[in-house]
Amino acid sequence: MALLAVFSTICLLAVMQGAATSANNRARVTASGLAERELEYMSDLVTASPESVEALLDAPEAANPNVAALLASSDSYWGFVIDGQRYRVERRVSRQTIGAGSPCENTGADAATQFATRVEVKVTWEGMGASTKPHVASALFPPHRDASGIGEDKAVIGVKVSGVLGDDPARAGMRVEVTDPYGDVRWETTDAEGCAIFVVSPPEWGGQYEVKLVGNSSATYVNQAGESMPTDIQHEVKPGDSRTSAFENYELAARVKVIVLNAGADVVAVDLEPLSGGSLGLITRPIVGGVAEFTNLPPGSYKVSAGTAPAQPLTLIPGQAESIEVVIPTGGGSP
């Protein structure tokens, strides 16, 4: 009886798992169809006229667009319902440089005539589970045949993000935000070349734009000054301008935990001093429970010291988490 119960439970779990997998596969097939439907609709819009492209780029994000009455859901989040399953379609439109020039390389206003339109569609469905990835599809549409540039009232800001290590230092998938003179914020994600492009509408007399590198939501990146979200100000951007903001030496942050042994009561902090380039200065952290922690460190060479203990060298690589011990000679306090 016990064995029968065990085998029955195993069989039931296998059947349930198979049913869930089958339902998820059916939902993914439907999600693929919804994504292709949206891309086909966008193809018609992008090829209609240069003005339709500009209208899309003025409002680059949309959720559940183009819902047919037959497929509409009563829920504001899940826009589509098909065979009793609810789906959400999210669309994002951006520019992408084609040809030899790019505002990310500060090649001048000529790069403004070499923009294609990129459309990315993401489809999720109700009950898909945290371990299931959404269906994502994208397409790149060439410039409209009647396009004569970006318009005399526009300007271009190219944002280049790069690292310092490795053969290919471009930083792809980094979120960049630009705040215009009116306080409105737009964002783009860097492409495979580490480039994000913004076409803006500055005042005729010029306006100030703040460019902020937000980074990657799954990890912390810092520059050589230890800044996790550095900013750059583009002053007096006027119509027809082509500007470049460059965020260089942007690497995955490292951290180190310093364990202090034999410390006297007067040893209350640990010093971390960079030995390599960059503008990061001496960092001091308090000792709490015999430990001092340093986070958001740019990779490089450091010197660790506390009390009368001899300074220890430390080399950190991107993303490294290091624990080291600093032993202070018995009876030793501050030097």
The CATH code of the domain that includes 300 is 2.60.40.1120
Residue 248's pLDDT is 86
Residue 302's pLDDT is 92
Q: Considering the domain boundaries, does residue 91 fall inside one?
A: yes
279 and 246 in a common domain: no
222 and 322 in a common domain: no
Task: Say if residues 146 and 46 touch (Cβ distance below 8 Å).
Answer: no
Residue 310's pLDDT is 87
Q: Considering the domain boundaries, does residue 156 fall inside one?
A: yes
Domain boundary among 130, 146, 162: 146
Q: State the residue range of the domain holding 73.
A: 21-146
Residue 299's pLDDT is 87
3 Cα distance to chain centroid:
52
218 and 322 in a common domain: no
In this structure, the chain runs to a length of: 335
Residue numbers of the chain with a pLDDT score lower than 50: 11, 14-15, 18-19, 109, 111-112, 166-167, 332, 334-335
Residue 111's pLDDT is 46
Q: Considering the domain boundaries, does residue 36 fall inside one?
A: yes
CA gap 134, 124 in Å, rounded: 5
Give the total number of structural domains in the chain.
3
Q: Indicate the pTM of the whole model.
A: 0.70
Phi, psi dihedral angles at 32 (to 5 degrees): -60, -40
CA gap 173, 62 in Å, rounded: 20
139 and 33 in a common domain: yes
Domain boundary among 146, 178, 209: 146
323 and 284 in a common domain: yes
Domain boundary among 81, 112, 146: 146
Q: Considering the domain boundaries, does residue 1 fall inside one?
A: no
Q: What is the CATH number of the domain that holds 220?
A: 2.60.40.10
Tokens 């007096």 appear where?
Answer: 236
